Amino acid sequence: MPFPVQWIPVEPYRVCDMRLADDPAGLSYWVAGFRRMERVVAAIASSYPERTGADVRAFVEAYGEAMREEPLRARFGADLDVYALDRVRKEVELAHGFDDPYRAMKREVTASALVALPGLLDELDGLEEGKRRDWLVRGLMAGNLFDVGSEEAMHAYRSVVGDFGAARARVPARPWWRDDADGFLEGCASGRYREVGWFVDNAGSDICLGVLPLVRWLLGAGVRVVLAANAGAALNDVTVGELRELLEEVSGVDGLLGSAWGDGRLAVVSNGNDCPLLHLGGIPGESVGCLGGADVLLLHGMGRGLESNWSQRFGCTVVRTAVVKDPRVGTWLGAGLFDCVFRVESGAV
């Protein structure tokens, strides 16, 4: 398991705490959610216009057969969890040639967010430092609202689509359910943290208008940032290839991001995954080498830091940032729907 040496887990690594083998109600809830096909079928029609209706029907039939409780119990036994359901979904997508159902949607929302980025950066630059930091972390949460894996998030997103200011206004008042943001930013500004390995989440406003402005602030504070994105597609998560293309475009928009991308203070690596949940043991060796200097592990998004890796302790500082976009995840955490999480945990060893 190729963890960077300073990240080595304190105990044996476990991806997902939400075990479903002994939770019949939980299993039924998640299977029902995974079996909702309307959105993915519509996304496939946009991303694969050359494919026939018969192709799509065969995919839907195979997926429905695979995503049934009894076959899942028989296959995974005690290891049945949400990550296992992610793996099954991905297997069926790949088997039917739909490796990236949401690629057309991702292009559209990312292009729209890029148009808004220069104005947002100008707005942030005009604020005094205390308000700027607050707007940066509120923007991080506003960006994370867009997630096609959550019915609740999609309803909320439709109400603010195209208006990032309105999305930011939806973010609850601080302090949040878990709010360690101010201490983390002060630690970066003071030189306590020098390099962040940041595992990013969604395309569109999440990466463009939530993550990149805060990355820019970190770079200005002298912090190196390594962004780790999915090797393969998963829902609307940005992939490593898409992220590299995005940063090439952003380099022409902002001088600080462009210079950092050019000289290596801002880097992009693959996290080795193709699921919304994050298995940190899957990081490729070459990515581990690039991440080896990071003294902070930042897990952004519900899939990376709440549904997976929530209880795992590591040997370095871990930051988990996300909006709670699923009611069952909120109940499991003891949080409410759309509560914001900015949790900082010091290294355990």
pTM, whole model, 2 decimals?
0.95
In a domain, 65, yes or no: no
* pLDDT for 294: 96
Residue 176 maps to a domain: yes
Q: Please name every residue paired with 342 in a beta bridge, in sequence order, or none if there are none.
A: 179, 321
pLDDT along the chain (349 residues), means of 10: 83 91 96 94 96 97 97 97 97 98 95 96 97 98 78 52 82 97 98 98 96 98 98 97 98 97 98 96 93 96 96 95 95 95 89
pLDDT, residue 146, reads 76
The total number of structural domains that make up the chain: 1
Q: Quick check: 62 and 95 in contact, CB under 8 A?
A: yes
Q: Which domain covers residue 159, as residue numbers?
A: 5-11+102-345
Q: Is 198 inside a domain boundary?
A: yes
The pLDDT score that the predictor gives to residue 160 is 47
CATH of the domain at 220: 3.40.50.10880
Would you say residue 294 lies in a domain? Answer: yes
